[in-house]
Amino acid sequence: MKPASAVAFADASPDWLPEVLTAIEEGKAVRKELANGGRLHIDRELPFICIHISSDTGGAVAREIAQANASYLIGPDAATAIPIVIAVGRLLSRRLGAFMVLEMGELARDELLTDKAPHLPPFKIEVTASGEPEIRAAARAFVNAAEAVKGKFRTPRVEFREWADSPPTDVGTLEVPFPYMAVRFAPIYRQRDSGGIYPEIRERLIASMFDAGLQAFAAFVTATESMSITTHRALGRKAFIDAVVRTDRSIDEVASTFDFLLAVTPINADAAWSEFAAGDYERAPRFLYRPLTLQVEAAKRKLFSIPFEHLEDPVLYHLYREKQQELDLQLSMLSARDTAKFIEFGRALYGPVESGLMHTADDILARSSDGAGEAETDARLTERRADCYFVEKQAREMVAEYGRRYAGFEACVEVRDDLPAGLLVSGQRLLVARSTVMEADRVEAILSHEVGVHLLTYFNGSAQGLRLFRSGLAGYEGMQEGLAVFAEYLSGGMTGERLRLIAARVVACAAMLDGASLPEAYRLLVHDHGFLKSDAFNVVLRVYRGGGLVKDAIYLRGLLQLLEHLADGGALEPFWMGKIAASHFAVMQELNARGLLGGPAVRPIFLDYPEAPSRLARAHAGMSPLDMLQP
């Protein structure tokens, strides 16, 4: 039965409400600003709404939790909120068959933290719900999710109550004619005496309470059969708000002001090799670099002036904060180029060489062989030589084929004189060094690596609507390179020589981090592992560029992560959506389930090669990098 107060408030409906209801019926998103900082946001028809009454004491985090939802109301007071909730709830209940209200608020104080219990005791969460079976299911789901949170600082203690006819007077719930649930939690993000904020606790609290709320909504949806969902995360937002787009553009503007790899790649590779050889391989050559085109301090000021507080989505907030921190480290590395600090910033960005990774690299070098000496390699290259112009021609043909499959694939191919031998992707450009020489039967594999992974994920990321997915989520490079190496295998181009090269990069990175000089690392590869002099120099040039770049260890690390992912039954599809790290696989699945991300605009061509399905099946069955050398 509808409470009397709800009848009174329903008569006071705002004059704009009919327009909002019409928009909902027509499938349009609603975002209506109210007086005193209130807001109604509904991005699609859903059988629930999360509300917060901002006149409550405190409540800054409760507001953020509420507005993280796809359907929420921030009401300046109960008198404003009730008629809106009733009108929207009646419409959606009629159209979907059910409707629930979750009110999110904060307790006045953190009463469990006292002078007698100063060492992070549990914190209180009060959950109160009406007596309908479906809302009891929602409340149980919320309680279970909240209690399952592993507290880094403090863990929750949940107190649950339900009412049959009328809510308890001490809860202060809104009287509306729908299944209703109220959550109040202690403001543990505020410092007890000063009222200052604990930022990390605040972020964790928002994320965990938001997720528990989604699980409550999912339980209600399941109990009422009002929607069909595969995961509670599918009930999150399906549209980016303007604040997200503005933040995305601002982050991309900073990221686009520099190309990190080009900035740390020597422009005098051939001269450096001649200098090194002339000195009998005893003295490190001098590397020259392009002058920086940005002022690092100005770029950092712009980076840290970007606001994140209005994103209204904990998942996106976390992704952009991660990216901000990564760009900060990259900028710090550029400012420390050719100094001792460069190595340490690189260690912070890319991580150390772990003992397990080093063991795998040593195992590959011990159990594989490139099968050729110096003279035999020269003869083989002479017989089956592919120079930069052949690579350029094949690359243009592959780019054209991707363009036929997806019109947005607008890559360009450039032959350059200012790069070491090989290929490099910069944004939407494939750069081919003029000194590049390789076996002709390796060209398809290396183009599958560069075009089929690096360029493909750039353009697929561009198609997602946010530039973050084309420039890359934080830490994406390891998985990108692992995918790219795996693409060489799927296209039939993995060789013992190539796998040894990837392992050698790990060995050289470890030696550099242990204090070895460039000549010492060079001798390690030539004398201990049998590498050709030119190949060993190409490895140490990459590893010691900029002052010491540990990035090259990520190729083998990323490959191992990918093989583990596939052996555990994981799919490749989310990795084609954009440039993501292994840790973002679940995030991509969630954003896809919510409708914020679409599938890949174009799939890699190498997946269509005749042997690719059987090779992929072998990876799903479990394999090591050395197994990729099996026919």
> In the prediction, which pLDDT does 95 show?
96
Which tops the pLDDT comparison, 243 or 8? 243
> In the prediction, which pLDDT does 1 show?
31
How far apart CA 48 and CA 42 sit, in angstroms, is: 10
How far apart CA 3 and CA 130 sit, in angstroms, is: 13
Which tops the pLDDT comparison, 4 or 287? 287
pLDDT band at residue 3 using 50, 70 and 90 as cut-offs: very low
Q: Is the pLDDT assigned to residue 435 strictly greater than 90? A: yes
> In the prediction, which pLDDT does 62 show?
95
Q: In this structure, what token pair is assigned to residue 320? A: 């952009």
How far apart CA 78 and CA 103 sit, in angstroms, is: 11
Paired residues of 53 in beta bridges: 75
Can you give the pTM of this predicted structure? Answer: 0.86
Is residue 176 helix, strand or coil?
A: coil
pLDDT band at residue 9 using 50, 70 and 90 as cut-offs: very low
524 and 508 Cβ atoms separated by less than 8 Å: yes
* Amino acid (one-letter) located at 582: A
> In the prediction, which pLDDT does 8 show?
37
- What percent of the chain shows pLDDT beyond 70? 93
Give the least confident one: 163-172, 354-363, 551-560. Answer: 163-172
E strand residue ranges, 77-202: 100-106, 123-130, 156-163, 180-185
Q: What are the pLDDT digits (tens) for 292-328?
A: 999 999 999 999 999 988 899 989 999 999 999 999 9
Q: Is the pLDDT assigned to residue 10 strictly greater than 50? A: no
Q: In this structure, what token pair is assigned to residue 207? A: 């994320």
pLDDT averaged over the chain? 91
Distance of CA 497 to the CA centre of its chain: 33
Which tops the pLDDT comparison, 543 or 233? 543
Which of 486, 519, 521, 497 minimizes the C-alpha distance to 507? Answer: 521
> In the prediction, which pLDDT does 5 show?
39
Q: What are the pLDDT digits (tens) for 484-537?
A: 999 999 999 999 999 999 999 999 999 999 999 999 999 999 999 999 999 999
Pairing type for strands 429-433 and 423-426 reads antiparallel
Which of 94, 120, 124, 142 minimizes the C-alpha distance to 184? Answer: 124
* Amino acid (one-letter) located at 5: S
Give me the helices (H) in 491-584, please: 496-513, 518-523, 533-544, 554-567
Q: In this structure, what token pair is assigned to residue 526? A: 């030539």
> In the prediction, which pLDDT does 181 show?
95
63 exposure class (CB count in 10 Å sphere: 0-12, 13-18, 19+) = buried
* Amino acid (one-letter) located at 516: A
Residue 27: left (phi > 0), alpha (psi -120 to 50), or beta? left
Which tops the pLDDT comparison, 112 or 240? 240
pLDDT band at residue 115 using 50, 70 and 90 as cut-offs: low
Q: What are the pLDDT digits (tens) for 606-619?
A: 999 999 999 999 99
Mean pLDDT in residue range 479-485:
97
Q: Is the pLDDT assigned to residue 7 strictly greater than 60? A: no
Is residue 293 helix, strand or coil?
A: coil
pLDDT band at residue 6 using 50, 70 and 90 as cut-offs: very low
E strand residue ranges, 11-65: 30-33, 39-42, 48-53
Q: In this structure, what token pair is assigned to residue 40? A: 């109604």
Mean pLDDT in residue range 431-451:
96
pLDDT band at residue 21 using 50, 70 and 90 as cut-offs: very high
How far apart CA 69 and CA 468 sit, in angstroms, is: 22
CA 266, 271, 274, 280: dihedral to nearest 10 degrees? -50
Give the least confident one: 4-13, 48-57, 453-462. Answer: 4-13
Mean pLDDT in residue range 368-372:
63
Domain boundaries, the chain: 4-237, 352-629
Compute CA distances 502 → 41, 134, 188, 439, 442, whole Å: 51, 56, 48, 17, 15
Q: What are the pLDDT digits (tens) for 243-294?
A: 999 999 999 999 999 999 999 999 999 999 999 999 999 999 999 999 999 9
Which of 470, 476, 478 minimizes the C-alpha distance to 557? Answer: 478
How far apart CA 91 and CA 204 sit, in angstroms, is: 34
How far apart CA 584 and CA 315 sit, in angstroms, is: 11
* Amino acid (one-letter) located at 247: T
Q: What are the pLDDT digits (tens) for 561-613?
A: 999 999 999 999 989 999 999 888 888 888 888 888 899 999 999 999 999 99
226 and 138 Cβ atoms separated by less than 8 Å: no
571 and 521 Cβ atoms separated by less than 8 Å: no
Which of 525, 447, 488, 505 minimizes the C-alpha distance to 619? Answer: 488
> In the prediction, which pLDDT does 369 show?
72
How far apart CA 261 and CA 290 sit, in angstroms, is: 11
- What percent of the chain shows pLDDT beyond 90? 76
> In the prediction, which pLDDT does 604 show?
98
How far apart CA 199 and CA 30 sit, in angstroms, is: 31
